[in-house]
Structure 1
Amino acid sequence: MKRWQDWVNLVLGLWLVVSPWILAFSQNAAALWNALIVGAIFVVLSLLALSDAKPWEEWSELVVALWLLVSPWVLGYSALSAAMWNAVIVAIVVGVLAYTAASQQPTQAA
């Protein structure tokens, strides 16, 4: 059985892809493209983790989640409340789930 965290992160990645139109921030190019690109990365990494879980996939999700967390301020769209809170909440949830999934994996000897 695959870890439930990977399924949730897959759904959150899909959410990020559609969220600019649902939350009405698609007019801001930085917020739009960040959500599309990061969402697509989460989808790909989640699918990889679901197909054959390796620790690097979970840690990669954690790194991307950290980017998503700071991106509203780095890219200058923190004044867009919906886009900013969307990024922060999704980043925290994905980051926590990726960390818990990665820490549950047994370490492999080289």
Structure 2
Amino acid sequence: MKRMKHWQDVVSVLVAIWLMASPWVLGFAHTNLAATGNCVMIGAVLFAFEMVELFVPESWEEYSELVMGLWLIASPWILEFTGVRVAMQNVIAVGVVTCLLALWVLVTDDEFGWFPPRRVPH
């Protein structure tokens, strides 16, 4: 088992916990089932991926988080809860943060990032 590699994963765990709790904290849990289910289900999947990623970092997890972040950004229109402003703003904000954290790792990680490791001349 590897040790934690990215601080972004710890932040993402906290973001996933927030996403799961947000319908009750923000008060839309009983007013919109689509928004609540979206937050709880995507939050649970993000949480599970992040817990695995804390100890076994793999690039597919970052790409999966990027897709889930993009889903969160688009979900108010797809699931039709744009009328619940607080829910819409919440999932868009969480989606943007999730995408930024995943992209950050993909851009900066030498092992499975987008850019090859920098070689230092001898």
Into which bin does the TM-score normalised by the smaller protein fall?
A: over 0.9
Q: Name the amino acid aligned to 1:52.
A: V
- Deviation of 1:70 (Å): 0.3
Match of 2:45 in 1: 41
Residue identity over aligned pairs, in percent, reads: 38
Higher-Rg member (1/2): 2
Residue 71 of structure 1 aligns with an amino acid whose one-letter code is S
Structure 2, gaps ≥5 residues long: 114-122
Q: Give 5+ residue unaligned stretches, structure 1.
A: none
Q: 1:48-87, aligned counterparts within 5 Å?
A: 48-87=52-91
Please name the residue that 1:29 is paired with: 33
Q: What do the CA deviations read for 1:55-103 (whole angstroms, capped 9, x no partner)?
A: 0001100001110110011000011111000000000011010111122
Return the letter of the residue paired with 2:7.
Answer: W
Tell me the TM-score normalized by structure 2.
0.84
Separation of aligned partners in 1, 2:112 and 2:87: 37
Secondary structure of 1:53's counterpart equals coil
More helix by share: 1
Give the letter for the 2:29 counterpart.
S
